[in-house]
Structure 1
């Protein structure tokens, strides 16, 4: 057989050909007359299939564990209906030959199970039909219909919850895809079960009609075609009809029970036996059950031999079950408390950015309150991704009992970069400058910019705004702080995966440029370092086409990321100056005294390639000169840049960026020739020349 399957067109496996073969067999049962022996085999197979489906339904943990059930139910129903067609043919054609004419299975059901009395058989069949059609099938169909409706109604909400978890960094992209697939499969499953329940109901109705056809057709054929007496015809054909009906109804009843078990299944942690055992087997109900049974046993005429063991079993369960429950709980908790077991999940954390919160801030991420913090984080990531030019990695939000209740902490690659306290039931009133009016509240500071602020009651928000405060909610406070830190450390969040995604996007828009850049001229690792240096100085990499074009032009000159970063800056100069001076305005600049600049150039040439080439004395002199020249400018509203010669630009930025956060250091070559420059001050000049031009 395996050799035959291997020679099938396309190399189809046996499993792939099983379903079409099963369909052909079903058609054959309906069309081809079967001998009684084959009919017996198929009847036993039908019962075995129903039992197998029932056992699988009992042992699943959740309905999706048996997602093929609607299709299996369809095939099992078709098998039983095909057997009804085949058995009806045999009963009507050969029924006059005796009760064994339709096979031993039908004869056994008609003779042994109902005692050979077809009147009893009809009533037994009627009872089974009522149980199956009115009770089990109707109930399972209703549950399927409601479950399908509720699942479809909840589908958008579940999808939004998955997106929120993904944006918050609580799950990975692969986990999000798996959860979306599970949600979609669940909706499809309950929709299919709603339709499959109609198969079961139709099968039960068909059983009644087939029984009536067998009885009426048998009586007519027996008396007219085979000259049987009416009593003999009734005895023979009714017994065969009832046996045939019972043979069909037993597997139908089993499948109906299986369907009801699947659609009424709740929970995922245990199978049905474990769930029922853990919930019904609790100690509390069994003591009153035993006492009530004991009282019932005292009634006159009650069978004490039956009641007494039931009372004893109930009391025994009431005494023993707590110990078993404790033992089970201890056994379940043992692996969690096993200090010798270490998993990879215990030591690996794939989220580069994380927000840890105290338990008092958990309401800010709960769906009940709309999860304002999660929405804020999503908005921060979206806006920063647009500004910086690459998709920021997920920010994982998790609670940490080691923190104080209202404390939060922001970490990058496990390193704490910021922390503070917020109060979820208050608002933060931030003072932009000296204010005459003070609103009631607790003194604090804005964690993002360090401005003086006060935590106030929401009822005083209007008063604070009237006094000139800027009032923000706790989620906005954390979101703003996170925004500033992610922007300041964006270069640490850019990895080769993100750069490869940028290159793939560039390849879609400019395939020749992308192919010329990497890996032909520069490896992706070097491109990553160059882009990270741009981000470190607050330069967006959104214009990847210009950056790639500049790298292609300068790559033959150097492979050093530091030198490459300096060489491509003139190509980005227009965007750099525009961010400071607008579209047409002059660039406000702070120059360096030629004498001091000459000392800086000599220091860089004496220590080529050093990140900090200046000696301590020169560093002190430069710091004092910068402080003297820029003190007044920093307090003003106008943006400005420090301008110097190209050889010292990067080293000077390394020296000043911690002291002058947000003030760029430009080389003269970075400024387009079409741009005017207005010198506001000169660093290191002998006299105060602030405002010089």
Structure 2
């Protein structure tokens, strides 16, 4: 009868819960949800509740905890249930409020019998533990040990470690976002969204670290409340109601244990939910059940070996043979079913490949179409890298390359040509090769099933993997397994996928060889675009003042020195003004650079008003001018010893400036600047060589060192 009463109570509550859930959205939109819950908790602590209402609230507490557990199971990512720490606090306070309300009823009405505090507590005291308070005490202690020692302690430790690792990994994740943004793989909105997600992740695990203490405290409170109920019940029953010791012990202990079990079961469900959400791995497409099926039951061999071991144990005399053999049969049949499914999938894949019609090339005469033209930009990949570029296999490399082309086109000022991608069986399986105008400018190897952990200069540990180098900038790197991503970011590494490695290398090479990609056709298109808004300027410039070939050479010189050509109006006006005086591309490049001084300086030093610079000693600068006047801009007359000493001094001072957080700038006179720029271009790539007339008037120069000065 007691069990049927409990079932009837659950059915009544389910009808009421359906009505309440329909009103939750309305209450939430009005902002009344949290105040109503707090008011309900205060009422349960202060006002006496009838047993029937206690039954409804206890049933709601169990259902609420079960609902939270199921939500965590079906949540794809922990951040999809970011409100979980707050829900955990509310559920804990609700359960403690119920404990206060039930304790009042137990102590006031417990002398009437085990049913004085409602049907739910009576059911857990009589039906669940058979009316034996000794058994109930043991069951309660076991539940507390499971909850407090195993689940809660483990979840708390995982939350603490996850919070610390997440906070330590934030700089590496931010660097990875900045690297993708700089490479053109993502735009500003995507970068902002990813930064917000990183911040939300840190906040979530930090909150979970604190929320786990609620569950731990709740387990301790359950033990104390049980002891208080038993001792208080004995005192009230014997002294106020005249019950015998055995009768008081029986009534109040059963009620206290029933009350404790009713509270411990929802507490255990919440502890499991808390442990599950902090121990799971984020996935944007699979819940825990799907991940279990995909990872635990992916191979038939573990199930087959387990079936064999269990079957051998079942054949030993004296063992429960039937149970072992039935389990062995179940494991064996599951293993065979997985084996058949995998073999059927393999046969279907082979059948699809075999069904493709073989090509039958027609024999035809050779023509000019058979002469292959040179690709402006080419990317060749080995056969293991084909999935990176094949969209049907989930490859994202082509879309990332489009993002790089768009970003570089906007930065440099002209359209970057398309990248011709093709496979090359002559390459190593994991190798790729980048060519410009048919000439190979870079090649490297990547591992499509691994991630590259790049050492940005300071890390806090080592990683297991395949050592290598970042192909774009030559930094030390290690190819790691994907499951080491979080650990590597915690140690300070910048972790990128193979596709990002390739496009970053491509972007770096396109930037450094941009002048080779600009030709007559691209220059004419730039002039045609300018002519739409300023036709008279373009008419005066070419062919009246300068031939197109000279304009092309000037633009190539600018790109070679990392000067964007976005401001075509200023470039065209300057060339039109000075083109009548000289048609030397070097002279015209110098005057255009002076006109673009604001752009050049802002690109190097930002908006800083004071610019720290290096200069040459006046005697050394005069010596270089005399040599260049005699030997020409090639500088063939400079002694090797002087050149080596100059290069060494410039490298030391440039490194010192960069370590202080300033861009390395060398300020020299206009005649010396072109030769010095070529001289340090490959030896000291971070050193910017500017002329005095390229510094805007609103910028102040601060000389921090003079190269060649005798101390």
Q: How does 1:442-521 map to 2 (within 5 A)?
A: 479=508, 482-485=511-514, 489=518
Aligned to 2:96: 81
1:306 to 314, 323, 332: 323
- Relative distance call for 1:256 and 1:407 in structure 2 (3 A) is closer
Distance in 2, Cα, partners of 1:85 & 1:309 = 49
2:442 to 413, 417, 422: 422
Aligned to 2:260: 245
- Relative distance call for 1:236 and 1:174 in structure 2 (3 A) is same
Asked if the contact 1:99/1:240 (under 8 Å) is kept, the reply is yes
Secondary structure of the structure 2 residue equivalent to 1:169: coil
Secondary structure of the structure 2 residue equivalent to 1:184: helix
Greater displacement, 121-130 / 25-34: 25-34
Aligned to 2:218: 203
Secondary structure of the structure 2 residue equivalent to 1:302: coil
Distance in 2, Cα, partners of 1:44 & 1:154 = 42
CA drift at 1:62: 3.0
Distance in 2, Cα, partners of 1:68 & 1:138 = 22
Distance in 1, Cα, partners of 2:248 & 2:190 = 67
| Uncovered stretches (5+) of structure 2, i.e. residues with no partner | 1-25, 357-375, 389-400, 446-503, 524-529, 543-550, 595-628, 636-677, 679-692, 694-711
Q: How does 1:668-683 map to 2 (within 5 A)?
A: none
| CA deviation vs aligned residue, 1:5-25 (integer Å, no higher than 9, x gap) | xxxxxx996363222322222
Asked if the contact 1:125/1:246 (under 8 Å) is kept, the reply is yes
Distance in 2, Cα, partners of 1:19 & 1:423 = 60
- Relative distance call for 1:12 and 1:295 in structure 2 (3 A) is closer
Q: How does 1:536-575 map to 2 (within 5 A)?
A: 538=555
- Relative distance call for 1:310 and 1:202 in structure 2 (3 A) is same
Asked if the contact 1:136/1:260 (under 8 Å) is kept, the reply is yes
Distance in 2, Cα, partners of 1:165 & 1:25 = 50
Secondary structure of the structure 1 residue equivalent to 2:31: helix
Secondary structure of the structure 2 residue equivalent to 1:420: strand
CA drift at 1:245: 0.3
Secondary structure of the structure 2 residue equivalent to 1:149: helix
Q: How does 1:342-491 map to 2 (within 5 A)?
A: 356=379, 358-359=381-382, 401=423, 405=427, 408-409=433-434, 420-422=440-442, 424=444, 479=508, 482-485=511-514, 489=518
Asked if the contact 1:62/1:267 (under 8 Å) is kept, the reply is yes
Distance in 2, Cα, partners of 1:528 & 1:157 = 50
Asked if the contact 1:170/1:396 (under 8 Å) is kept, the reply is no
CA drift at 1:103: 1.2
| CA deviation vs aligned residue, 1:162-210 (integer Å, no higher than 9, x gap) | 2112222233333323322222222222212111111111111110011
Aligned to 1:264: 279
CA drift at 1:211: 0.6
CA drift at 1:266: 2.5
Asked if the contact 2:433/2:443 (under 8 Å) is kept, the reply is no
Aligned to 2:131: 116
- Relative distance call for 1:490 and 1:302 in structure 2 (3 A) is farther
Asked if the contact 1:384/1:483 (under 8 Å) is kept, the reply is no
Distance in 2, Cα, partners of 1:337 & 1:233 = 82
Distance in 1, Cα, partners of 2:52 & 2:94 = 17
CA drift at 1:76: 1.2
Asked if the contact 1:357/1:409 (under 8 Å) is kept, the reply is yes
User: Which of 1 and 2 has greater Rg?
Assistant: 1
Asked if the contact 2:147/2:268 (under 8 Å) is kept, the reply is yes
- Relative distance call for 1:70 and 1:52 in structure 2 (3 A) is same
Aligned to 2:39: 24
2:171 to 156, 160, 166: 156
Asked if the contact 1:407/1:420 (under 8 Å) is kept, the reply is no
| CA deviation vs aligned residue, 1:633-678 (integer Å, no higher than 9, x gap) | 9x95299xxxxxxxxxxxxxxxxxxxxxx9xxxxxxxxxxx9xxxx
Distance in 2, Cα, partners of 1:110 & 1:135 = 25
Residue 294 of structure 1 pairs with residue 292 of structure 2: no
- Relative distance call for 1:296 and 1:37 in structure 2 (3 A) is same
2:291 to 275, 278, 284: 275
Distance in 2, Cα, partners of 1:338 & 1:267 = 39
2:633 to 605, 616, 637: 637
Aligned to 2:208: 193
Distance in 2, Cα, partners of 1:22 & 1:217 = 29
- Relative distance call for 1:206 and 1:417 in structure 2 (3 A) is farther
Distance in 2, Cα, partners of 1:529 & 1:35 = 93
Higher relative contact order (CA 8 A, sep 6+): 2
Residue 580 of structure 1 pairs with residue 587 of structure 2: no
Distance in 1, Cα, partners of 2:240 & 2:414 = 85
Asked if the contact 1:168/1:397 (under 8 Å) is kept, the reply is no
| Uncovered stretches (5+) of structure 1, i.e. residues with no partner | 1-10, 340-352, 366-376, 411-415, 426-474, 495-522, 551-563, 585-632, 640-661, 663-673, 675-693
Distance in 1, Cα, partners of 2:536 & 2:238 = 97
Residue 94 of structure 1 pairs with residue 94 of structure 2: no
- Relative distance call for 1:133 and 1:179 in structure 2 (3 A) is same
Secondary structure of the structure 1 residue equivalent to 2:128: coil
Measured on the aligned residues, the alpha-carbon RMSD in Å equals 5.3
Asked if the contact 1:74/1:196 (under 8 Å) is kept, the reply is yes
Aligned to 1:508: none
Distance in 1, Cα, partners of 2:110 & 2:168 = 54
2:332 to 303, 315, 333: 315
CA drift at 1:284: 0.6
Aligned to 1:145: 160
CA drift at 1:404: 6.3
Asked if the contact 1:168/1:396 (under 8 Å) is kept, the reply is no
Distance in 2, Cα, partners of 1:192 & 1:252 = 19
Asked if the contact 2:27/2:33 (under 8 Å) is kept, the reply is no
Aligned to 1:428: none
- Relative distance call for 1:358 and 1:637 in structure 2 (3 A) is farther
Compute the TM-score of the two structures, normalised by the length of structure 1: 0.55
- Relative distance call for 1:392 and 1:216 in structure 2 (3 A) is farther
Distance in 1, Cα, partners of 2:307 & 2:337 = 14
CA drift at 1:276: 2.0
2:242 to 227, 245, 258: 227
Asked if the contact 1:530/1:565 (under 8 Å) is kept, the reply is yes
Distance in 2, Cα, partners of 1:255 & 1:338 = 54
Secondary structure of the structure 1 residue equivalent to 2:243: coil
Asked if the contact 1:166/1:394 (under 8 Å) is kept, the reply is no
Asked if the contact 2:79/2:204 (under 8 Å) is kept, the reply is yes
Distance in 1, Cα, partners of 2:151 & 2:587 = 76
Compute the TM-score of the two structures, normalised by the length of structure 2: 0.53
Distance in 2, Cα, partners of 1:46 & 1:331 = 51
| CA deviation vs aligned residue, 1:516-540 (integer Å, no higher than 9, x gap) | xxxxxxx999499999x99976389
Q: How does 1:520-535 map to 2 (within 5 A)?
A: 526=533
Secondary structure of the structure 1 residue equivalent to 2:440: strand
Greater displacement, 191-200 / 304-313: 304-313
